[in-house]
């Protein structure tokens, strides 16, 4: 009986997202099921991070509409649900970009996230790879309706390598989860409540851990940035190159951001959803900024739509007329022979 | 050979008569036209001394603007350089120190800002891209020069004069 139950449990469930069916393991969230399909229908996520246990459910950008609960109970869910925290059920039908309700709700969420965001993208080092920027560009309204003073904080140094701009923070808690799960003892967290909530360390105590630099990578906005890269260059003027090194503490697989011959910064490798593949240690991130420290693998694949790919013409297609058309060449030859016979 | 198109015209050359052969009437006629032009309105101006009025949408030399308090508006965001189709703009940014708040508007500023006027095509995309209203192509024609290096304009040539200096200059000239 138990085995039967187990078999039944491990059976894949079928779920339809925006009309696209996919079969996933039971217990998968709607967001992850959508990610298995990929493409435009993947809901954006600001706080969910698949590598961090317990993350998600805070930013509400991944809201979707469940138009059919399951095969057994086909009633739709009464409200929009956070797809990162809702698990799929057999026969579930989900609407993401096909539902005007979801698009409208997401616009509201973006406006909400941007209420206290300073919109200082021209100054911010994250601009160009900022998820909030992408989100606002894709789903947000053109102008803000907010007329009051935005909350402001002073900059805080977390250690000598990490800079915290609390004004830019959207309180996604990702960095707190990193500190909780990657590092052994937690020294930073969220202080205050509601509008006063802020990421902080007690008495600005430095995070002293080999993997503390990963909070920079997981931060979806420019709240946690690399001080060694501060104002060095804009992201889109640097050239990302995949490289690795033999590191005793981490996997050593990183992306180097070059400007000319110089390595301006080192980050972990990020996948198509902007999540790091493997966390890297602080030695790799902050101290190894020479080409000779690394084994270069090749240029990082950057999406054509990304600003980082602007002015890089690596996908140039030769014009159609230059291509050889064997059929046409044969026909031309025949024509030529016929014309010259007389 | 027969013309293929059938539109070829063969011109007949007649021998010139006496009046044509001495050339003088034709010369006088030409001189009269030249002489007449002396009394007409001149179309040209003495350029460096005199200047024509530019049209409203004229795009000339760039200027980096200051705000009402005389702080530099540019924050070295790099959007002008990104939008530049000729890749004429380069910049190096720096962080504003304590005590420099009266010089720069934001916490980041352009320590070096260079436009290569030989590369620039004066398309105005930098002006359009600027989120801080810091660059405008509202200057005159970029002057000619002898050396290539002199066409790389730095902040000394591009940044607008501070308001108090400008007023002092006006007071001197008036």
> Is residue B70 marked as binding?
no
Q: How far apart are the CA of A261 and the nearest CA of chain B, in angstroms?
A: 16
Q: Report, as an integer, the average pLDDT of B9-20.
A: 86
The residue ranges of every structural domain in chain A are: 14-113, 116-231, 232-318
Measure the CA–CA gap between A200 and A190, rounded to whole angstroms.
6
> Which residues, in sequence order, are bridge partners of residue A68?
A93
Query: What SS3 state is found at A273?
Result: coil
Select from B82, B87, B95 the Cβ nearest to the Cβ of A231. Answer: B95
CA nearest to A252, candidates A229, A281, A218 = A281
Query: Chain B partners of A230 at a C-beta cutoff of 8 Å?
Result: 95
Query: Chain B partners of A237 at a C-beta cutoff of 8 Å?
Result: 78, 81-82
**Interface touch B75/A121, C-beta < 8 Å:** no
> Which residues, in sequence order, are bridge partners of residue A61?
none
> Is residue B150 marked as binding?
no
Q: Most B CBs within 10 Å: which of A119, A121, A123, as the mutation test of the B interface?
A: A123
Select from A230, A231, A236 the Cβ nearest to the Cβ of B82. Answer: A236
Q: Give DSSP secondary structure letters for B74-115.
A: -----HHHHH-TT--EEEEEEEPPTT-TTTBSSSEEEEEEEE
Q: What is the pLDDT of residue A5?
A: 54
pTM of the model: 0.79
Q: How many beta carbons lie within 10 A of that of residue A215, not counting itself?
A: 24
Chain B residue with Cα closest to A125: B77
Select from A123, A232, A307 the Cβ nearest to the Cβ of B106. Answer: A123
Chain A touched by B76 (CB under 8 Å): yes
Per-residue pLDDT tens digits for B115-172: 999 999 999 999 999 999 999 999 889 999 999 999 999 999 999 888 777 788 888 8
Beta strand A224-226 with A162-164 is antiparallel
Q: How far apart are the CA of B94 and the nearest CA of chain A, in angstroms?
A: 6
Q: What is the pLDDT of residue A98?
A: 92
Query: Chain B partners of A307 at a C-beta cutoff of 8 Å?
Result: 82
Residue A41 DSSP symbol? G
Domain A116-231 adopts which CATH fold?
A: Alpha-Beta Plaits (3.30.70)
CA nearest to B127, candidates B72, B89, B65, B80 = B80
Structure tokens at A18: 């925006």
Select from A120, A231, A311 the Cβ nearest to the Cβ of B93. Answer: A231
Chain B residue with Cα closest to A309: B82
Alpha helices (runs of H) in A126-285, residue ranges in sequence order:
131-139, 174-181, 214-218, 282
Q: Give phi and psi for A182, each to the nearest 5.
A: -85, -40
For the structural domain made of A14-113, what CATH number should be given?
3.10.20.740
pLDDT band for position B36 (cuts 50, 70, 90):
very high
Instruction: Judge contact between B102 and B69, C-beta under 8 A.
Output: yes
Per CATH, A14-113 and A116-231 having the same topology is answered no
Domains annotated on chain B, with CATH: 63-173 (3.30.70.3270)
Chain A residue with Cα closest to B94: A231
Query: Chain A partners of B79 at a C-beta cutoff of 8 Å?
Result: 122
Q: What is the pLDDT along chain A (342 residues), one digit of tens a residue?
A: 455 555 555 688 999 999 999 999 999 999 999 999 988 899 999 999 999 888 989 999 999 999 999 999 999 999 999 999 999 999 999 999 999 999 999 999 999 999 999 989 999 999 999 999 999 999 988 888 888 988 888 888 888 888 889 899 998 888 888 877 876 666 667 777 777 777 776 545 556 778 888 889 999 999 999 999 999 999 999 989 999 999 998 888 999 999 888 999 999 999 888 899 999 999 999 999 999 999 999 888 888 778 888 776 665 555 566 667 788 888 888 888 887 765
Interface of B with A in 9-28 (CB under 8 A): none
Residue ranges of chain A whose CB lies within 8 Å of a chain B CB: 120-123, 127, 230-234, 236-237, 307, 310-311
Select from A120, A230, A237 the Cβ nearest to the Cβ of B78. Answer: A237
Average pLDDT of chain B is 90
Chain A touched by B81 (CB under 8 Å): yes
Structure tokens at A76: 């739709």
CA-based angle A304:A310:A315, to the nearest 5?
50
Q: What is the pLDDT of residue A1?
A: 45
């Amino acid at each position: 009986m138990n085995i039967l139950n187990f078999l039944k449990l491990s059976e894949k469930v079928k779920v339809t997202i925006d009309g696209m069916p996919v079969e996933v393991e039971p217990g998968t969230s709607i967001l992850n099921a959508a990610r298995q399909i990929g493409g435009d229908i993947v809901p954006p996520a600001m706080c969910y991070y698949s590598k961090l246990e317990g993350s998600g459910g805070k930013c509400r950008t991944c809201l979707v509409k469940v138009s059919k609960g399951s095969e057994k109970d086909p009633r739709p869910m009464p409200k929009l649900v956070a797809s990162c925290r809702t698990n799929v059920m057999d026969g579930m039908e989900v609407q993401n970009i096909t539902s005007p309700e979801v698009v409208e709700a997401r616009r509201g969420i973006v406006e909400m996230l941007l209420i206290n965001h300073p919109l200082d993208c021209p100054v911010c080092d994250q601009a160009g790879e900022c998820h909030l920027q992408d989100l606002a560009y894709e789903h947000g309204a053109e102008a803000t309706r907010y007329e009051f003073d935005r909350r402001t904080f002073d900059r805080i140094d977390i250690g000598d390598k990490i800079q915290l701009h609390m004004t830019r923070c959207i309180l996604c808690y990702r960095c707190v989860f990193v500190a909780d799960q990657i590092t052994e003892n937690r020294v930073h967290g969220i202080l205050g409540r509601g509008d006063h909530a802020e990421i902080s360390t007690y008495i600005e105590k430095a995070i002293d851990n080999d993997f503390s630099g990963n909070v920079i990578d997981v931060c979806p906005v420019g709240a946690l940035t690399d001080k060694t890269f501060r104002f060095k260059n804009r992201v889109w003027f640097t050239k990302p190159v995949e490289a690795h090194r033999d590191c005793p503490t981490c996997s050593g697989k990183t992306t180097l951001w070059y400007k000319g011959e110089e390595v301006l910064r080192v980050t972990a490798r990020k996948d198509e959803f902007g999540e790091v593949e493997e966390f890297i240690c602080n030695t790799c991130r902050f101290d190894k900024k020479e080409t000779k420290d690394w084994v270069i693998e090749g240029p990082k694949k950057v999406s054509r739509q990304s600003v980082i790919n602007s002015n890089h013409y690596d996908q140039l297609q030769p014009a159609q007329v230059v291509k050889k058309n064997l059929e046409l060449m044969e026909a031309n030859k025949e024509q030529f022979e016929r014309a010259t016979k007389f | 050979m027969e013309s293929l198109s059938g539109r070829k015209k063969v011109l007949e050359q007649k021998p010139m008569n006496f009046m044509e052969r001495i050339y003088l009437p034709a010369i006088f006629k030409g001189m009269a036209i030249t002489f007449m032009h002396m009394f007409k309105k001149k179309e040209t101006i003495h350029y460096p001394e005199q200047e024509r009025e530019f049209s409203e949408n004229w795009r000339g030399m760039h200027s980096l603007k200051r705000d009402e308090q005389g702080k530099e508006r540019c924050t070295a965001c790099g959007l002008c350089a990104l939008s530049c189709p000729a890749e004429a703009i380069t910049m190096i940014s720096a962080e504003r120190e304590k005590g420099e708040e009266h010089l720069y508007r934001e916490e980041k500023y352009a320590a070096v800002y260079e436009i290569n006027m030989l590369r620039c095509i004066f398309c105005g995309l930098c002006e359009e891209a600027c989120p801080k209203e810091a660059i405008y192509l509202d200057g005159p024609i970029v002057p000619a020069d002898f050396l290539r290096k002199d066409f790389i304009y730095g902040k000394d040539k591009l940044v607008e004069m501070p308001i108090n200096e400008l007023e002092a200059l006006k007071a001197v000239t008036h």
